[in-house]
Amino acid sequence: MKVFAVFVASITLCAGNAIPLVPGDNSHYVEGESRYIWMLDEDSVPQLVDLAEPVDETLVNSRNEDSNQYWLYTRLNPNTAQVLVNGNANTVWNSNYDGSKPIKVIAHGWQGSGNSGVNSLVSSAFLEIEDVNIIVVDWRVVANNNYVIAVVGVPGVGQYVGNFLEWLINTAGGNWNNVHLIGFSLGAHVVGSAGLQAGGQPARVTGLDPAGPLWIGNPSALNSSNGQYVEAIHTDGGLQGVLIPIGDADFYPNNGRHPQPGCATSSCSHGRAPQLFASSVRTNHLQGRLCESFNQAQNEQCNGSILNMGNGIVSKRGSGIYGLSTGSSWPY
């Protein structure tokens, strides 16, 4: 035990940052300065991340298009995935994919998979209100590495998603004006890169508390060029999520920071974004008010024109910074 204590102390001194010991508590974290942060895994369990962990570029560069899987869900198969394989048209012809219907693409976050809760949460909300093609991107091959490796791998993953969507639409039909990309945390930057690869054609791109650590100033971060309309919902800004506006429209429920109502940890606040979005898809009841400045959003003083936060309307358009208040439990 003494050896372990000395080992931990030596790491702390070398890093120049204390190692946080309370899971999910990011009260120590200073964006751009801290080395350690708690990040959510697939089961919403906080894992300690070393943002200075070395990256094996060979490992990252070894990934290819086959690293991703694409799981199709429709009203005909709402619970059992049909796997679509890029370049294999038979997997599409033999599935329930319908090119005349809208396409919703969902990407999980770090340490996630196609089975992550965010996927079923959002896909079930969409299928309840609309007959659509849901495509869940399983990018676990990259996501299930350490956080730094996953960050470096995101642009390639997104490029593969963009290539797949172009192939799918060209092969089996579809309309870019009916394509909506949704990503949580690191997955927000994945769908941003996918939209970029597709030439900004997707009608709508939604980032659910886009990951913040190592993304400030990152040219591959989600931005307004990634689709016809790009929005972000910020719930843990400055900690696990990015705080600054990055889309055409940026929503700051409850000032966009931790703690969100009812949340004791940063991890809870980070995970609130998918919950708010899924609820808004079902009922479209969360109304953002336009802010005159970023400071107004931070101080919850916005009272301008209304733009609903979230929802599943693919033709939704807007611009600016929006603030709103929500409840502490479903449907918020």
Which residues are designated catalytic?
185, 209, 270
Closest C-alpha among 242, 240, 244, 243 to residue 267: 240
* Identity at 79, one-letter amino acid code: N
Distance CA 282, CA 321 (A): 23
- Provide φ and ψ at 137, rounded to 5°: -90, 115
- Provide φ and ψ at 79, rounded to 5°: -120, -15
Distance CA 251, CA 308 (A): 9
Distance CA 33, CA 78 (A): 44
- Number of neighbours of residue 325 by Cβ within 10 angstroms: 13
DSSP β-ladder status, 46-50 and 36-40: antiparallel
User: Residue written as tokens 């890093």?
Assistant: 15
- List, in order, residues 6 or more apart from 331 with CB less than 8 Å away: 279, 282, 283, 285
Kindly provide the b/e burial profile for residues 93-130, where b requires at least 16 CB atoms within 10 angstroms of the residue's own CB. eebebbeebbbbbbbbbbbbbbebebbbbbbbbbbeee
User: Residue written as tokens 């090119």?
Assistant: 99
Show the CA angle centred on residue 312, arms to residues 77 and 279, nearest 5°. 85
**25-31 long-range Cβ contacts below 8 angstroms, 24+ apart:** 25/265, 25/266, 26/239, 26/240, 26/258, 26/265, 26/266, 26/267, 27/266, 29/238, 29/239, 29/266, 31/212, 31/213, 31/216, 31/238, 31/239, 31/243
DSSP β-ladder status, 249-253 and 320-324: parallel
